Amino acid sequence: MPNNENKINAAITAVGMYVPDKVLDNKYFESIVDTNHEWIVSRTGIRERRKLENGATSDLATGAIIDLIKNSNLTPEEIDVIIVATVTPDMFFPPTACIVQNNIGASNSWGFDLSAACSGFLFALRTGASFIESGAYKKVVVVGADKMSSIVDYTDRNTCILFGDAASAVLLEPTTDTSIGLKDSILNIDGSGKDSLYMLGGGSLNPASHETVDNKMHYIYQDGKAVFKVAVKGMADVSVEVMKKNNLTSEDIAYLVPHQANLRIIDATAKRMGITSDKVMINIDKYGNTTAATIPLCLTEYYRAGKLKKGDNLILAAFGAGFTWGASHLVWSMD
Ligand code: COA
């Protein structure tokens, strides 16, 4: 029998974010591809996104962790583990986590990158929480960071309007108050979705060559319609499943914190959960789809705006390439 008396939960005890200054609004896209502001807003909910002009994903992640440190009592030397969720690592190797570790002076930490596309933060949160729950580590930083502009084809109107650059980080620490922190996660992968959303070139399947570049294989490819269909069902199903599993009704939930890929997918998920739009965290209008960064970016912005309080029941939900998807029940732990 598990001994619940000694149970430790992983709680978020600090947050941080970094978004580059450069804004790309929908008017800008009207000037480079055949699109218009009305189409983009009505089909996606996106008005603006950010672009990092100089630097890499590690710079975004470093900025987010520095912001987290500035707004907490954490010192870099105290960090035990750094997990960087990303699909746009600075390089194949070394891991982006190593570059971030060196940038922030986290001299006593280890860490690694985690690749799970738009579900990256949810998967990394579950992973980081397990390190805390096991008692092995006391301070785990989970950062979702993506420089999507590095893999976007700015001549492809189907994808270029969707993505932006950002990073956001959370600190996980142990608590013996098991009413707060990460309570449950349902996470899934299904590789039969691998042909709907991918970047074909540059990996061991198609090493970079003149041919891969000529064929634009170093860019994102997405079958938008196909992904939309499974994302709507997948994100809604798993969100309802995690609610039921944890005996939560829509009244119990303070916020749905959805991955920000498309406002219509988010609305459909909220509807299935019986949640009104005032209980849905949204910032897709300002940042677009920042892949691993969207969920912590929402948490950071809503917390800093005073909209989150200790004890709030949150459902975090994501769907992404792979396919990867899942939902978590998190009880907010900061005043
Ligand atoms: N501006 C104007 N028209 C555009 C356009 C743009 N930026 N992008 C596509 N279109 C056109 C298409 O070419 C198509 O034209 P056609 O009918 O002449 O072929 C038409 O709009 C409709 O395309 P469709 O793909 O049906 O649009 P949609 O309503 O499905 O919206 C997405 C496209 C990409 C916004 C939507 O499919 C989506 O969000 N998909 C899922 C994204 C996601 O969740 N990804 C997973 C996580 S990353």
Write down the domain spans for the chain. Answer: 9-178, 182-331
pLDDT cut 90: percent of the chain above it:
98
Tokens 């909220």 correspond to what residue? 270
Indicate the pLDDT class of residue 1, thresholds 50, 70 and 90: very low
Whole-angstrom distance, CA of residue 163 vs CA of residue 147 = 9
Average pLDDT over residues 230-236: 96
Return mean pLDDT, the chain: 97
Q: What is the pLDDT of residue 6?
A: 83
Q: Is the CB–ligand 1 distance for residue 283 below 6 Å?
A: no
Average pLDDT over residues 314-335: 98
Q: What is the pLDDT of residue 5?
A: 66
pLDDT tops 90 at residue 108: yes
Report the separation in Å between the CA atom of 298 and the middle of ligand 1, taken as the mean of its atom positions. Answer: 24
Sheet containing strand 110-114, strands side by side:
9-18, 165-175, 140-147, 81-85, 110-114
By alpha-carbon position, which residue is closest to atom 10 of ligand 1? 158
pLDDT cut 70: percent of the chain above it:
99
pLDDT tops 70 at residue 4: no
Q: Is the CB–ligand 1 distance for residue 118 below 6 Å?
A: yes
Indicate the pLDDT class of residue 261, thresholds 50, 70 and 90: very high
By alpha-carbon position, which residue is closest to atom 12 of ligand 1? 158
Q: Is the CB–ligand 1 distance for residue 37 below 6 Å?
A: no
By alpha-carbon position, which residue is closest to atom 9 of ligand 1? 158
Which residues participate in catalysis according to the annotation?
A: 118, 259, 289
Report the separation in Å between the CA atom of 301 and the middle of ligand 1, taken as the mean of its atom positions. Answer: 28
Q: Do domains 9-178 and 182-331 have the same CATH topology?
A: yes
Which one of 32, 34, 43, 121 would you pick to mutate in the ligand 1 pocket, going by the greatest count of ligand atoms within 8 A of its CB?
43
By alpha-carbon position, which residue is closest to atom 3 of ligand 1? 35
Please say whether the structural domain 9-178 has been given the CATH code 3.40.47.10: yes
Q: What CATH number belongs to 182-331?
A: 3.40.47.10
b/e map 4-42, b = 16+ CB within 10 Å: eeeebbbbbbbbbbbbbeeebebeebeeeeebeeeebee
CA-159 nearest atom, ligand 1: 34
